[in-house]
């Protein structure tokens, strides 16, 4: 039993893969966590079921018709949960005085404003929404500092790195004796597929990840390895690591979730079964440890761990992400926005798999070196890159 009062939690993106894993951990520890608010974009049925289970004070839907459907479902069930709708409501449930902890698990740039609001309000921010950090790195880290927020990474690699770093690490690798950050990557479903077959892969094949069950956007990102590229940029901001000391290591078993290489030759790794409830439970209870419902790691069943260098010809998105990080300014925002548009077009069967890096590269070539030091500048860079990407997509032949 936890001795203090339960921590009050807002889950942004409650109906998604991370949102559901978060609520699974919450349900195991009713003495520790209390749900203040849940959000979802369109899936009112799924959010209704979660509201009836967790009885939050507020539920926020992205769309008015979905909000009405949710409200009538809640009324019929005699629930006291109040339904709100839209972006301002997301910021409200992220920053409310009653909230201690915010799980930022909306997918894509749509999560930026509420995640930023939680940081500014000094919450304990559990960051799954890596796109928000890629888009607005400096701005977001500044908001964490000025708001007095505690930022804990949920992405399994970054959570592993956090666990492998010394307590109180202050975003200064040299001061902590860190030589390299080793970011592991599964290599996704196409690590060994014949290169000639990649042009014709379908969204269903791209979403069939060998080790993890995730939302469709991040699944495609894993197949292109843009996910690892976004994670390189995420690691840069979270840990103050320059691009030169971040190394991607392909590790197909997804048992080592990442490592820190120290100047004395020590390499500290975090291992575990590929189950997001581990990093979620770690961050939720930090600095304590709680049961996450994850089965123990069976090293004898795993038997071996393999490592490979990433193939940048096969995975141009990883190269593009390193280039965007090194270019700085608006480039990471352009990379992220162009990727979101290209992945959506691929999932809609509008473009082929290999068009994804081509669209992103074309957008990055148009991007200048302007600084993005305000939310308006970030959002303008994002909007402009989406226009470029949509124009680029419309120039390409229909994939099928
Ligand atoms: P998902 O697609 O399963 O869920 C996304 C959630 O965001 C849903 O609740 C959806 O309703 C909400 N949403 C979608 N569009 C929205 C919009 N425009 N406005 C408001 N809400 C919106 O995605 P996921 O796999 O849970 O991933 C969520 C985030 O976590 C992503 O940023 C992803 O990169 C990151 N992440 C996921 C995993 C994983 O294992 N799934 C691992 C590491 C990081
Ligand atoms: Mg990850």
CB 267 within 8 A of CB 259: yes
Q: What average pLDDT does the chain have?
A: 97
Note the pLDDT tens digit of each residue in 140-181: 999 999 999 999 999 999 999 999 999 999 999 999 999 999
Q: Which atom of ligand 1 is nearest to the CA of 41?
A: 11
Query: Domain ranges in the chain?
Result: 7-153, 154-323, 328-395
The CATH architecture one would assign to domain 328-395 is Orthogonal Bundle (1.10)
What is the percentage of the chain residues whose pLDDT exceeds 70? 99
| Any atom of ligand 1 within 6 Å of the Cβ of 130 | yes
254 pLDDT band, cuts 50/70/90, is very high
Average pLDDT for residues 131-142, to the nearest whole number? 97
Residue (of 361, 370, 369, 371) closest to 392 by Cα position: 361
| Nearest ligand to the C-alpha atom of residue 17 | 1
The residues, ordered by sequence, that sit 6+ positions from 344 with a Cβ below 8 Å of its Cβ are 217
Alpha carbons 134 and 221: distance in angstroms, whole number: 14
The reported pLDDT for the residue numbered 233 is 98
> Higher model confidence: residue 248 or residue 211?
248
pLDDT over 90 at 89, yes or no:
yes
The reported pLDDT for the residue numbered 371 is 85
Note the pLDDT tens digit of each residue in 179-206: 999 999 999 999 999 999 999 999 999 9
CB 137 within 8 A of CB 332: yes
| Any atom of ligand 1 within 6 Å of the Cβ of 270 | no
Note the pLDDT tens digit of each residue in 269-321: 999 999 999 999 999 999 999 999 999 999 999 999 999 999 999 999 999 99
333 pLDDT band, cuts 50/70/90, is very high
210, 215, 225, best to mutate for ligand 1 pocket (most atoms within 8 Å of CB): 215
CB 334 within 8 A of CB 367: yes
Ligand 2 centroid, distance to 157 Cα (angstroms): 5
Average pLDDT for residues 113-121, to the nearest whole number? 98
| Any atom of ligand 1 within 6 Å of the Cβ of 17 | yes
- Which two tokens mark 180? 């390299």
Instruction: Give the closest residue (by CA) to ligand 1 atom 23.
Output: 215
Per-chain residues with Cβ under 5 A from ion ligand 2: 155-157
pLDDT over 80 at 2, yes or no:
no
pLDDT over 80 at 400, yes or no:
no
Q: Which atom of ligand 1 is nearest to the CA of 131?
A: 32
Query: Could you tell me the pTM of the whole model?
Result: 0.97
CB 210 within 8 A of CB 274: no
pLDDT over 80 at 45, yes or no:
yes
Superfamily of domain 7-153: NAD(P)-binding Rossmann-like Domain (3.40.50.720)
Ligand 2 centroid, distance to 212 Cα (angstroms): 10
């Amino acid at each position: 039993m936890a001795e203090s009062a339960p921590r009050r939690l807002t889950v942004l993106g409650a109906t998604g893969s991370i949102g559901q894993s978060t609520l699974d951990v919450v349900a195991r520890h009713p003495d520790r966590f209390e749900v203040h608010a849940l959000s979802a974009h369109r899936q009112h049925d799924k959010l209704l079921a979660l509201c009836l289970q967790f009885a939050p004070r507020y539920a926020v839907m992205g769309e008015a018709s979905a909000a009405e459907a949710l409200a009538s479902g809640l009324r019929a069930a005699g629930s006291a949960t109040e339904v709100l709708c839209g972006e301002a409501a997301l910021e409200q449930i992220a920053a409310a005085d009653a909230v201690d902890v915010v799980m930022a698990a909306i997918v894509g740039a749509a999560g930026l404003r509420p995640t930023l609001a939680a940081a500014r309000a000094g919450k304990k921010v559990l960051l799954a929404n890596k796109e928000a950090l890629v888009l607005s790195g400096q701005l977001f880290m500044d908001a964490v500092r000025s708001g007095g927020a505690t930022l804990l990474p949920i992405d399994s690699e970054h959570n592993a790195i956090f666990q492998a770093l010394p307590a109180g690490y202050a975003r200064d690798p040299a001061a902590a004796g860190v030589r390299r950050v080793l970011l592991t990557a599964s290599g996704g479903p196409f690590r060994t597929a014949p290169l000639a077959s990649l042009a014709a892969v379908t969204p269903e094949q791209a979403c069939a990840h060998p080790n993890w069950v995730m939302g469709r956007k991040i699944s495609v990102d894993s197949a292109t390895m843009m996910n690892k590229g976004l994670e390189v940029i995420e690691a840069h901001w979270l840990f103050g690591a320059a691009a030169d000391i971040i190394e991607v290591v392909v590790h197909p078993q997804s048992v080592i979730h990442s490592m820190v290489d120290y100047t004395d030759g020590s390499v500290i790794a975090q291992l575990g079964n590929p189950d997001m409830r581990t990093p979620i439970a770690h961050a939720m209870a930090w600095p304590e440890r709680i049961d996450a419902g994850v089965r123990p790691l069976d090293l004898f069943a795993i038997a071996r761990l393999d490592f490979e260098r990433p193939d940048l010809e096969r995975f141009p998105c990883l190269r593009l992400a390193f280039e965007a990080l090194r270019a700085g300014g608006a480039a990471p925002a352009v990379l992220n926005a162009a990727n979101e548009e290209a992945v959506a077009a691929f999932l809609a069967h509008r473009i082929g798999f290999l068009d994804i890096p081509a669209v992103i590269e074309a957008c990055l070539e148009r991007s200048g070196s302007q600084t993005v030091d305000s939310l308006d500048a970030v959002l303008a860079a994002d909007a402009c890159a989406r226009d470029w990407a949509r124009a680029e997509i419309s120039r390409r032949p229909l994939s099928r």
